[in-house]
Chains A and B, each alone.
Chain A
Amino acid sequence: MRKILILGATSAIATATARLLAAEGHELFLAARNAPALQALADDLRTRGVRRIGSAHFDAVQMGAYAALIESAAAALEGLDTAILAYGSLPDQATIQDDPERVAADLNANFVSAAALLTHLAARFERQGYGTIVAISSVAGDRGRAVNYVYGSAKAGLTAFLSGLRQRLWSKGIDVITIKPGFVDTPMTAGFQKGALWSTPHVVAAAIVRAMRSHQTTVYVPGFWRWIMPGIRALPERIFVRMRF
């Protein structure tokens, strides 16, 4: 049985993950910005029969509140051994790309805040000598593309941060797991045309739970991205700049 903090718990992927974890008998502490949605999720999990649950308001831009949040999660669950970072925002690239402040704000929300949180969590888990960190990055971080490079560069930063953190904590027995979903049908992608490459929150959630159980390091979801992304990374820049996708 784990004691799990979920940051950004009301996201579609986190919601599906929380349900699977609750069904496996784990204890959960939910943190999210949208108060009514947070309450609705807590009620849902309680009705489904979660063993123990707590929740608190969390806004990624309020970095000063991170330490207290982690403390209250650990207090409510009487310990903390797993943290899942599942929040993020997908800005509309075209509307922000010429606005330096919005670009910076987005990098803050998707990367800087995560780096700060991971630093808190790493210290705590290192001190206690055990723990698992799961963070949802994205295939968009594997190579910057014109259509979403603000989001993509934040996720690239997150992926690199997790990679380094994993290496640092490896010898301490602390798992750091990078989840890289492709296209997922969630509220974040409501405006997109969906095609054959699209996946569902439930598929990603199942992959997260599996990765936690089997101590995986980097997981592409669905798995076919593991074979597509190296190809995209390997494209020579001279060709890549001429492509439109």
Chain B
Amino acid sequence: MAGDLEKLSLRSGIGSWGRYPQQRHHLHVLWDRSRELPRFPAPALPYGRGRSYGDVCLNDGGVLLSTRGLDRFISLDDERGWLRCEAGLTFEQILGLIVPRGWFLPVTPGTRLATLGGAIANDVHGKNHHRVGSFGHFVRELELLRTDGQRLRCSRQQNAEWFAATIGGLGLTGLITWAELELKRIHNPWLIAQTIRFFDVDEFFALSADSERDYEYTVAWIDCTTRGRGLFMRANHAPPLDDLPPAPRAKRLRVPFTPPLALVNRATLMPFNAAYFWSHRARGAPELTHFDAFFYPLDALLEWNRLYGPRGFLQYQCVVPPGESAAITALLDWIGQRRAGSFLAVLKTFGDRAADGMLSFPRAGITLALDFPIVGPKTFALLTELDRIVLDAKGAIYPAKDARMPPAMFRAGFPASERFTPFIDPGLSSSFRRRVMH
């Protein structure tokens, strides 16, 4: 099947979550996993739902292979919790099938609108990283379709190198048509969650150390307008319960349009953050919380990225090795001094289970993620300053969130990138690859 670009046309409006950079693409929707990929005169890139923030899911001037038509389940082994399905399914679609049957995602990012393929290609992590590792650890097997028509079944036993290249491989090793996942048993859709206030980063580390043994999920929101006060959240799946509350009604609002100015700015942020912080008790009681509310609070406001206005935003997520907590303090100080940063600031400790992917981001240490509305060159200059702190601490930046790191930063954070290069499909490329991986 020859794909030709005349039938497609370059268009804007398909983007990534940060809405920066804005680029133009040809869009080709895939509907049938048994077919070969069409051949295009320009490089292509698999594209799920555009939930990565920067340009790992973009391919300026090239083709995006939309996987939204690859949304079929293949099988669910109800004894062992092995789910095999096509890679264009979103976590929302998968949860809709598995939760009523007593299963849950082994690892989930903060949105249920990401796809299975995207989760593998970015080796995403969740609030349980300290316990179980990253998403790739739960991928049992996958099929990789190369642009030359070759199909590779990849697992830890078969084509193991290809498997390691594809976990966290940013979609560059081929199209993941389907994958088999190892799910987690749950008794019901509820968690028992607790929120605790803290006033500085040291207190966060103490809470973290305290909670990691007994809590499967931990994460903290920090108020970056201060020197590091925040809310520590920890939770476990609920045990079997006789009396379950009714599932909350799915209330979903949508930001209807992009306001001409970012609604997130200094004037709105300080009072908003303070109100959010003080609306919680010093030490909340453990509460029965629905998984939707615990894992995906931001999904309740569809297209919230529009709040950052037409210029979009950058997310900065880094990891620094254990013991480098001084670097986290330095980063927060720097951001506080510049009065930058935003509402969404997240702090979490990663466990020491080594990731399976050559380019996987999760590794032992502390990870910090922050949003920055783009106000101009000074936003980029600030992040360059942050790079220095991260680099000095031998840390790394998360490609899935990135739209601006320099190539040297990538090489330093991902020493296996040279080993990865031979696995790149010659028919695929991405804006991230052209910008950073050389």
- By a CB distance below 8 angstroms, the chain B residues around A40 are 32-34, 72, 74, 86
Chain B contacts for A12, CB-based, 8 A: 31, 69
Once A37-B34, A190-B7 are accepted as A-B contacts, the answer to whether A43 and B69 lie under 8 Å apart by CB is no
Q: Give the size of the chain B interface in residues (CB under 8 angstroms).
A: 18
CB nearest to B33 among chain A residues: A40
Complex CA distance for A40 and B32, rounded to whole angstroms: 9
Of residues 41 through 64 on chain A, the ones whose CB sits less than 8 Å from some CB of chain B are 41, 43-44, 46-48
Q: Write the nearest CB–CB distance from A17 to chain B, whole angstroms.
A: 15
Decide yes or no whether A34 CB sits under 8 A from chain B.
Answer: yes
Question: What chain A residues lie within 8 Å of B8 (beta carbons)?
Answer: 191
Verify if B158 is at the interface (C-beta below 8 Å from A): no
Whether A171 sits at the interface, judged by CB under 8 Å, is: no
Asked if A187 CB lies within 8 Å of chain B CBs, one says yes
Main secondary structure of the interface of A (DSSP, over half): helix
Residues of chain A from 175 to 203 with CB closer than 8 A to chain B in the complex: 187, 190-191, 193
Tell me, yes or no, whether B416 is within 8 Å of chain A by CB: no
B97 touching A47, Cβ below 8 Å: yes
B384 at interface by CB-CB < 8 Å = no
A47 near B73: Cβ-Cβ < 8 Å: yes
Q: Is A36 a contact of B32 with CB atoms below 8 Å?
A: yes
Contact call A36/B75, Cβ cutoff below 8 A? no
A44 to B76, alpha carbons, bound, how many Å? 10
B423 CB, nearest partner CB in chain A, Å: 27
Scoring B residues 9 to 36 as 1 if CB is less than 8 Å from chain A, else 0, what string do you get? 1000000000000000000110111100
Cα–Cα distance between A104 and B97 once the two chains are bound (Å): 45
Q: Which residues of B contact A187 (CB under 8 A)?
A: 29, 31-32, 69
> Contact between B75 and A47 (Cβ–Cβ < 8 Å)?
yes
A interface with B by C-beta (< 8 Å): 12, 34, 36-37, 40-41, 43-44, 46-48, 187, 190-191, 193
**Pairs across A and B, CB under 8 Å, 20 listed:** A12-B31, A12-B69, A34-B32, A36-B34, A37-B34, A40-B72, A40-B74, A43-B72, A43-B73, A43-B74, A43-B75, A44-B73, A46-B75, A47-B73, A47-B74, A47-B75, A47-B85, A48-B73, A187-B32, A187-B69
Q: Which positions in B face A, CB cutoff 8 Å?
A: 7-9, 28-29, 31-34, 69, 72-76, 85-86, 97
Q: In the complex, given contacts A43-B74, A48-B73, what are 12 additional A-B residue pairs having Cβ atoms less than 8 angstroms apart?
A: A36-B34, A37-B32, A40-B33, A40-B72, A43-B73, A44-B72, A47-B76, A48-B97, A187-B29, A187-B69, A190-B7, A193-B9
Would you list the 6 A-B pairs with minimal beta carbon distance, nearest first? Answer: A36-B34, A47-B73, A44-B72, A191-B7, A187-B31, A44-B73
